[in-house]
Amino acid sequence: MAWEMVVGLEVHAQLLTDTKIFCGCSARFGAEPNSQVCPVCMGLPGALPVLNRKVVEYTLKVALATHCRVAPFSRFARKNYFYPDLPKGYQISQYELPILEHGWLEVTGADGGAKRIGITRIHMEEDAGKLLHPETPGADYSLVDLNRACVPLIEIVSEPDIRSPKEAAEYVRRLREILVYLGVCDGNMNEGSLRVDANVSVRPKGETRLGTRTEIKNLNSFKFLEQALAYEAERQIDLLETGGEVVQETRLFDTQKGITLSMRSKEEAHDYRYFPDPDLPPVVIDPAWIERVQADLPELPDDKRRRFQDEHGLPAQDADLLCQSRDLADYFEAAVRLHHNPKAVANWIMGYVLRELNKEGAPPITEAPVTPEHLAGMLDLVRKGEISTNIAKTVFDEMWATGKPPEVVVEEKGLRQITDTSAIEALVDEVLARNPKEVEAYRAGKTKLLGFFVGQVMRATKGKADPQAVNRLVREKLGAGP
């Protein structure tokens, strides 16, 4: 029987606000444990939450970028459960009335065309703290770090529209790209700024009803996401084909073994006893606020890709690559503004700039030692014939190593192309005079030796001669000889 997998994703994204969602503490990652806490985020008796407006503003940006409907009236609710990293014994989240609903975003489907993945809802909530387990073997305690408690999150819940591990990864990639473009999330999956849970079920192809699903928690890389989904679908299919049944449960992905393992069954699932948080009034969104956010919205990745193709005449693949981050796209456009050959700029960025960055562990392009201005200046020198394309590579490496502008590099290293024909002519004569046997052989019909003579001349100029001029002169001299 042919089977189809059905996947819906729940993505938690940490918002990049300066302060936490319900108090004024810094929301930055990586500080000393419990150094960014106050009575509110520590859940001390008597402390009360106050909503950070920036969190709502960032969520509105996401609404506009994912085609969501903004609820004019939404509520916070308490999700009640006990855990040591949850200082109040409940998490403030949204439940019945989330702020955003009914959105979508586009991915490339199995047939290569565009496919819409529905977004059921997006809601705001606070993060929990973190448990630190001592490394001492046999230690009978754990420590709690509440720096992360109360850091703002949005949870983005997709419709069960995803049909393959690849599509799932593509959806997360697109979503991540949008969030990073908007500047509302750093998208860092290692540090947990973006966390993915997946609901997975399978059904015979053609069936419209959904099968029993399992939820896989904490898939924190694209690789794990794809692996876990592939494994889980296969596990469910095996079960069904051998007369078994899929049990609705929460599962964990074992990254070592590449398999999913049961974590808790439906019966053991928490009853979170959600109810509206009486400490927080409803969130009421004024349409004028949405308009202001819209006006400040940056160009989104899909729009940029389209524009890069239309305006800069780039092939789809180049546009796709250059638009994967806003900084990269900005880098490209800054260079193109100075050097009006988009394809050449794109080639240099993709071929050299990104290669060098990757060698250094892929830091953001804003940290590249070669600025867009320097890259454009170097390409100008090539266009004006002051350096050859080959020399340009030397210039680029030098700029990368020293951060100096191209003119300075060319000057200091004496890399300017020799365009003076008489100087080249003299060198050609010299080379021919030094190699009489080869001259004879050439004239006898061994024309392949042309490259040898050109190479000798180029070496003598340390590559600075215009290769075309050398070529022409060598040919002339050899042809004109006896």
Give the interface with other proteins as residue ranges (CB under 8 A). 39, 42-51, 78, 80, 82, 84, 87-90, 144, 271, 273-275, 278-281
Q: What length is written for the chain?
A: 482
Closer residue to other proteins (CB): 37 or 382: 37
Closer residue to other proteins (CB): 78 or 176: 78
Long-range contacts of 289-298 (CB under 8 A, 24+ apart): 289/57, 289/60, 290/60, 290/63, 290/64, 290/70, 293/57, 293/60, 293/61, 293/64, 294/64, 297/61, 297/64, 297/65, 297/182, 298/181, 298/182, 298/183, 298/326
Closer residue to other proteins (CB): 92 or 335: 92
Q: Smallest distance, Å, CB 119 to other proteins?
A: 26
Closer residue to other proteins (CB): 112 or 278: 278
Cβ atoms of 168 and 7 within 8 Å: the answer is: yes
Closer residue to other proteins (CB): 88 or 312: 88
Q: Smallest distance, Å, CB 36 to other proteins?
A: 15
Q: Smallest distance, Å, CB 178 to other proteins?
A: 30
Q: Smallest distance, Å, CB 55 to other proteins?
A: 14
Q: Smallest distance, Å, CB 286 to other proteins?
A: 17
Closer residue to other proteins (CB): 281 or 298: 281
Q: Smallest distance, Å, CB 87 to other proteins?
A: 6
Q: Smallest distance, Å, CB 137 to other proteins?
A: 18
Closer residue to other proteins (CB): 42 or 314: 42
CB atoms under 10 Å from CB of 343, counted, come to 13
